[in-house]
Amino acid sequence: MGRRAAVLGHPIAHSLSPALHRAAYAALGLEGWRYDAVDVTADALPAFLAGLDDAWAGLSLTMPLKQTVLPLLDHVEPLADVVGAVNTVLVQAGAGTGVAGGPVLVGANTDVYGIVTALQEGLRDRPRGRRPGDGPAGAPADRTAAVLGAGATAASCLAALAQLGCTTPVVYVRSMGRIGSLMRAAHRMGVEPRYAPLAAAADEFGAADLVVSTLPAHAADDVAAGLGAAVASRAAGIASRAAGGDGPHGVLLDVVYDPFPTALSSAWARAGGVVVGGDRMLLHQAAEQVRLMTGLVAPVEAMAGVLGARSVHR
């Protein structure tokens, strides 16, 4: 018998999740399974969850629902609880006790898995010998990291970077007055970031081994321009921290996948760094959702096929 699943958010028409999950269902031979995109606001989420029944296997959540959903669930898995964000809801048989009622709703976070796996792909593409300890295996004790942005995705980035050995990243933010939630999440994780204004990123972040930009499209354009200027200065013989000495040697994961490449991704690639597109993070977090919702190993290559040439690292 088929099951239902969907991605919820507002707006949602741009989402690639339906194409990814449907490709997985087809490759796995799951006849009768369906996956839809449903526009749901934060205010409408409780009513939507209350209408779920046992025909549902799970939900994918995007903005603005990843935090709104927390008090509506019966259980929240430890990683999602620590991060403070749920992007996956598993619908399980039984009588739920949460605010929404209906079946048992379990919250999980696959964004962390998606970020870790995407960065690991970039590390495999990173030229060896640029720094002591470089190479695809292991996590050097001195590996450095930076995060651009302090929204819900930034907390998942901190957890992912911690798994890769970076527990003291620099977080560049547009407003120091809006980092309270991220600071609390970092404390729960045992991560100790340094917070700095986004304007400072152009002078510093190029030297990092791992960089994740969680900023929306065009929000990092000034940082990209600063990196380009720093590289030009380096070429002219002027020392610059942003240029990373001999140029960016690290991996940039830009979570924006449309439009791609962004100005930041293009500037990083021109300067010599490795770029991983946001669609790789999307792919791997969706693959983990497929595994959790179906109980089957996700067909990653079949799912990647729907993303096309944008999946290629630069």
Q: Is 130 buried (19+), middle (13-18) or exposed (0-12) by CB count in 10 A?
A: middle
Query: What is the per-residue pLDDT for 260?
Result: 86
Summarised one tens digit per residue, pLDDT across range 104-147 is 999 999 999 999 999 999 999 876 545 544 544 444 567 899 99
Residue 177 reports pLDDT greater than 60: yes
In this structure, how many other beta carbons lie within 10 angstroms of the beta carbon of residue 90? Answer: 21
Task: Record the tokens describing residue 104, joined without a space.
Answer: 């048992």
- 3-class secondary structure, 59: strand
- At the second CATH level, the architecture of 4-109 is 3-Layer(aba) Sandwich (3.40)
The predicted structure's pLDDT at residue 313: 44
Closest CA to 103 of 113, 93, 114: 93
Domain with CATH 3.40.50.10860 in the chain: 4-109
In this prediction, residues 225-250 reach a mean pLDDT of: 67
Take residue 144 and report the two structure tokens written for it.
């450095």
The 10s digit of each residue's pLDDT in 241-250 is 544 455 677 9
In this prediction, residue 90 carries a pLDDT of 98
Question: Tokens representing 70?
Answer: 């927390």
pLDDT computed for residue 135 by the predictor: 47
- At the fourth CATH level, the homologous superfamily of domain 112-279 is NAD(P)-binding Rossmann-like Domain (3.40.50.720)
Q: What is the pLDDT of residues 13-35, one digit of tens each?
A: 989 999 999 999 999 999 999 99
Strand partners, 253: 212, 276
CATH 3.40.50.720, the chain: domain bounds: 112-279
H helix or E strand, kind and range, residue 120:
helix 111-125
Determine the straight-line distance between the first and last CA of the chain, rounded to whole angstroms: 42
- Of the residues 3, 21, 22, 66, only one is catalytic, namely 66
Q: What share of the chain is helix, strand, coil (3-state, %, to 5)?
A: 40, 15, 45
pLDDT band (50, 70, 90) for residue 266: very high
State which of 95-99, 263-267, 304-308 shows the largest mean pLDDT: 263-267
Beta strands in 99-208 (DSSP E): 104-108, 145-148, 170-173, 194-197
Residue 292 structure tokens: 């959790």
The mean of the pLDDT values for the chain is: 89
Reply yes or no on whether the pLDDT at 174 is more than 70.
yes
Give the separation between CA 241 and CA 244, rounded to whole angstroms.
5
- Alpha-carbon distance of 247 to 268, in angstroms, equals 9
pTM of the full predicted structure?
A: 0.90
Query: What percentage of the chain carries pLDDT values higher than 70?
Result: 86
Q: 257 pLDDT band (50/70/90 cuts)?
A: confident
Average pLDDT over residues 284-308: 96
Concerning whether 290 is annotated as a catalytic residue, the answer is: no
Q: Please give the average per-residue pLDDT across 64-69, as a whole number.
A: 95
- Give the relative orientation of helices 263-270 and 221-235 as an angle to the nearest 10 degrees: 20
Q: Could you tell me which of 217, 213, 254, 214 has the C-alpha nearest to residue 14?
A: 217
Q: Label residue 21 exposed, middle or buried (CB < 10 Å: 0-12, 13-18, 19+).
A: buried
Q: Mean pLDDT: which of 98-102, 193-197, 260-264 is highest?
A: 193-197
